[in-house]
Amino acid sequence: VGVMKGVIVGIAPNVQIIDISHDVAPQNIASGAWMLASAYRYFPEQTVFVCVVDPGVGSSRSAIAIQAGNRFFVGPDNGLFSYVLAEQTVYAACVLSRSAFHLPQISSTFHGRDIFAPVGAYLARGVGISEVGMPVEPAALQRIDVGQLVRSDRGIDGRIVHIDRFGNLITSIPIALVPMLFSEMPVRMTFPTLNVDVSECRRFFAEGSDREPFIYGDSSGYVGVAVRNGNAAKALNAGFGTPVTLVIGSK
Amino acid sequence: VGVMKGVIVGIAPNVQIIDISHDVAPQNIASGAWMLASAYRYFPEQTVFVCVVDPGVGSSRSAIAIQAGNRFFVGPDNGLFSYVLAEQTVYAACVLSRSAFHLPQISSTFHGRDIFAPVGAYLARGVGISEVGMPVEPAALQRIDVGQLVRSDRGIDGRIVHIDRFGNLITSIPIALVPMLFSEMPVRMTFPTLNVDVSECRRFFAEGSDREPFIYGDSSGYVGVAVRNGNAAKALNAGFGTPVTLVIGSK
Amino acid sequence: VGVMKGVIVGIAPNVQIIDISHDVAPQNIASGAWMLASAYRYFPEQTVFVCVVDPGVGSSRSAIAIQAGNRFFVGPDNGLFSYVLAEQTVYAACVLSRSAFHLPQISSTFHGRDIFAPVGAYLARGVGISEVGMPVEPAALQRIDVGQLVRSDRGIDGRIVHIDRFGNLITSIPIALVPMLFSEMPVRMTFPTLNVDVSECRRFFAEGSDREPFIYGDSSGYVGVAVRNGNAAKALNAGFGTPVTLVIGSK
């Protein structure tokens, strides 16, 4: 990763370079997409995000740049930008076809260094997104399932989209959709495939006992399930993709 | 952590952001306090330290900012600044009550991003510490036991305040207190609760054999016990808080 | 490591500081040397590399600075710069004897903070390399075996010089020496001490099956052996230093 920064400062010497995370499980696109989703809004406008979770490097997947909202995203066209594409207005997208903005020699295994980093640096220097490649329809870009919600009789159906390093389970259900989460109204999270129900709600981790799993509002902006001083993923035997239903009221 | 930096550059675009360490054991305040203690003196004056070892986030613990010596410290009031408070003159301390300097939406689990990072960025931009909240008496701030020394007949009593990633045991006894450490005078470190004595002293790790535990001057400025190419914590079965006595002379 | 950056910004406030890697196995000089070799060319001219893989700290090994090509290197004289010395023109080298450019107090275990970081910062500020110490003959600097190649009847003899975090085996054989690697001509990598032959060649990781080890062009610029979605080092029982022969044609 340091090498990518070397490439960037060689092109754009005065740029601020910030690491979002290196904790993405190797080659896990869904996890990388989620981490980007939970972070990008906190960065200033005009930020260029150079993203490398790229198991398909060397295959036929395209390298792309996207202007979404007032920020730029550079990386592989493999679904990594699915949340961004779903949440932001896409002003432009292009395939990185202009080799003048790449390193002179392109390896087959490290496009982060050879293509994404230099293109990102040129964008940060003010080069227009239309200059770095050929336009592509945003609708044609790859997307992964970002856990779209379904409201049913039983409640809101979603799934686990992320497990953080403490083992907390983050669902695809935004806190903003459930204003009654910390009201008097009973709420419970069911895991239909696991035959488990979590009915305790806590505003703060510091509350209550250590053993009991509970529903909480994750700092990412989504509803989560945690065990204080424990690992909810292990305790409930839940994983990435596990379906959940948030049931509101005493049904 | 990248998200906190995104928040910071959004407020103070030209600031230098440096990570001290992400190796603090999760939620271990004593370990975080020690790492800050061993690092802060090496940073320039006017540095703002934004510190997040925050197991009590969401509970009633306060968020604070401190001006100590010529540096600023922002974080939870949970003892993380105990060494700083013990070692530096405190010119001002305040509780971060002015929400104008926070992010608009405050999560209950990530004050690092929502409160400490923006306040730290405003301080780095030159906002006065008295503007970000209400003054609080330094004496009223939380402190942990930072291993205060007791001189006894037998020598200097202290305890293990840190175990580094190599398993080296760092005591609360400053090297500066023991000028005879590498002289002709015999010195030994006793672990009264473990019935262990270490009597070998080495100036350099590269000296001597691989098996023998030895006393050395840790780069943090404190006396340590190590095993070359080994793990002293495991070899001696010692841990955080284990009492030690440094005996000088052949008593 | 954060402490070293604190020292640097105290001396050279406007410098860009970039981490190359903290993944070097503790105290492994050969691995550190290789990582530096695979990275330094991607950084701009005038970059100062401050390098700390320093198992001999406190022993009699010297602290040195080198101007090689148009870049500067500061660190221990223990072989860490062997690739740089082999690959670049050395314009100047010196032993860091002038304590005016060190921290006032030198610990015996952390020269990275106390000597290399401040000297690197002064070089970045424009201090001449001849000012920070006494000149030394480049030929007198320590070097490790960087896997020099031997062409034999059987092919090109080299060895494994690096194992990356995925378990891919990187050899000392530059891709540039083997233009026929992805041509019609049969090529195989033999591991004479292991009685193993790898004869499949792949341009991309995404090609082919998951089980079969294959030869590929590593992004470092050297020929490698990998197992897709697997660990080649474990699968072949190969390690650092294992001899290899690249046989070209159907001999």
Q: Dump pLDDT digits (tens) for C54-87.
A: 887 777 889 999 999 999 999 999 999 999 998 8
Higher pLDDT, C196 or C25: C196
Contact A123, A97 (CB under 8 A): no
* Cβ contacts of A206-215, under 8 Å, gap ≥ 24: A206/B55, A206/B56, A206/B57, A206/B58, A206/B59, A207/B58, A207/B59, A215/A181, A215/A187, A215/A188, A215/A189
pLDDT under 50: residue ranges of chain B: none
Confidence at residue C120, expressed as pLDDT on a 0 to 100 scale: 97
Query: Do residue B113 and residue A219 have CB atoms under 8 angstroms apart?
Result: yes
Residue B59: what residue type?
S
Contact B239, B194 (CB under 8 A): no
Higher pLDDT, C127 or C24: C127
Question: E strands, chain A, where?
Answer: 48-50, 63-68, 71-76, 90-95, 134-135, 150-152, 155-163, 169-174, 187-191, 196-198, 213-217, 222-227, 243-248
> To the nearest whole percent, how much of chain A has pLDDT over 70?
98
Give C187's strand partners. C248
Global pTM value: 0.85
Q: How far is A163 from chain B (nearest CA, A)?
A: 16
CB of A58 within 8 Å of any CB in chain C? yes
Contact C105, B219 (CB under 8 A): no
Least confident of A57-61, A75-79, A205-209, A226-230: A205-209
Q: CA neighbours within 13 Å on the CB side: how many for B10?
A: 23
**A69-123 pLDDT per residue, tens:** 999 999 999 999 999 998 899 999 999 999 999 998 887 778 999 999 999 999 9
Confidence at residue C107, expressed as pLDDT on a 0 to 100 scale: 80
- What are the C-alpha distances in Å from A81 to residues A32, A43, A86, A115, C48? 9, 16, 9, 17, 35
Q: How far is C244 from chain A (nearest CA, A)?
A: 22
Contact C140, C229 (CB under 8 A): no
Query: Do residue A204 and residue B2 have CB atoms under 8 angstroms apart?
Result: no
HEC readout, A105-117: CCCCCCHHHHHHH
CA C98 to chain centre: 28
Q: How far is B163 from chain A (nearest CA, A)?
A: 22
Partners of residue B58 in chain A, C-beta under 8 Å:
203-207
**Looking at chain C, how many residues does it have?**
251
Which DSSP category does C146 fall into? -
Residue in chain C closest to A7 (alpha carbons) equals C42
CA A7 to chain centre: 25
3 state DSSP class of A179: helix
Partners of residue B16 in chain C, C-beta under 8 Å:
9, 13, 17
Confidence at residue B251, expressed as pLDDT on a 0 to 100 scale: 56
Residue C157: what residue type?
D
Helices (H), C74-210: 82-87, 111, 117-125
Q: Return the axis-axis angle of helices A2-11 and A117-125, rounded to nearest 10°.
A: 40
What is the Cα–Cα distance from B49 to B39, expressed in whole angstroms?
Answer: 11
CB of B10 within 8 Å of any CB in chain A? yes
Q: Is it the case that residue C18 has pLDDT exceeding 70? A: yes
Confidence at residue A244, expressed as pLDDT on a 0 to 100 scale: 95
Confidence at residue B186, expressed as pLDDT on a 0 to 100 scale: 85
Q: Is it the case that residue A31 has pLDDT exceeding 90? A: no
Q: C interface mutation test: which of A62, A109, A116 has the most C CBs within 10 A?
A: A109
* Cβ contacts of A178-187, under 8 Å, gap ≥ 24: A178/A223, A178/A246, A178/A248, A180/A248, A181/A215, A181/A217, A181/A223, A182/A217, A185/A248, A185/A249, A186/A248, A186/A249, A186/A250, A187/A215, A187/A246, A187/A247, A187/A248
Q: Is it the case that residue C243 has pLDDT exceeding 60? A: yes
Q: How far is C201 from chain A (nearest CA, A)?
A: 13
Confidence at residue B250, expressed as pLDDT on a 0 to 100 scale: 67
Residue C37, C-beta contacts closer than 8 angstroms, at least 6 positions apart: C83, C84, C87, C146, C220
Query: Do residue A206 and residue B58 have CB atoms under 8 angstroms apart?
Result: yes
Partners of residue B108 in chain A, C-beta under 8 Å:
203-204, 216-217, 219
State residue C137 phi and psi, 5-degree precision: -65, 125
Q: Are strands B71-76 and B48-50 parallel, antiparallel or unpaired?
A: parallel
State residue B223 phi and psi, 5-degree precision: -70, 135
Q: Is it the case that residue C220 has pLDDT exceeding 80? A: yes
Query: Do residue B108 and residue A204 have CB atoms under 8 angstroms apart?
Result: yes
Residue C62: what residue type?
S
Q: Is it the case that residue C251 has pLDDT exceeding 60? A: no
Which one of A26, A59, A113 has the shortest CB-CB distance to C42? Answer: A113
CB of A168 within 8 Å of any CB in chain B? no
CB of C44 within 8 Å of any CB in chain B? no
What is the Cα–Cα distance from A115 to A134, expressed in whole angstroms?
Answer: 15
What is the Cα–Cα distance from C136 to C64, expressed in whole angstroms?
Answer: 9
What is the Cα–Cα distance from B92 to B176, expressed in whole angstroms?
Answer: 29
Nearest CA among C8, C33, C28 for reference residue C18 = C8
Token pair 């223990």 is found at C78
> To the nearest whole percent, how much of chain C has pLDDT over 70?
98
Q: Which chains lie within 8 Å of chain A at 3 or more CB pairs, if any?
A: B, C
Confidence at residue C31, expressed as pLDDT on a 0 to 100 scale: 84
Which one of C7, C17, C58 has the shortest CB-CB distance to B204? Answer: C58
| ipTM (interface predicted TM) | 0.82
pLDDT band at residue C184 under the 50/70/90 scheme: confident
Mean pLDDT, residues A212-241? 91
Residue B179, C-beta contacts closer than 8 angstroms, at least 6 positions apart: none
Q: B interface mutation test: which of C4, C5, C18 has the most B CBs within 10 A?
A: C5
Q: Is it the case that residue A243 has pLDDT exceeding 90? A: yes
3 state DSSP class of B72: strand
Which tokens belong to A248?
């509101």
CB of A219 within 8 Å of any CB in chain B? yes
Q: How far is A233 from chain C (nearest CA, A)?
A: 24
**A153-180 pLDDT per residue, tens:** 778 999 998 898 889 999 988 887 887 7
Q: How far is C17 from chain A (nearest CA, A)?
A: 10
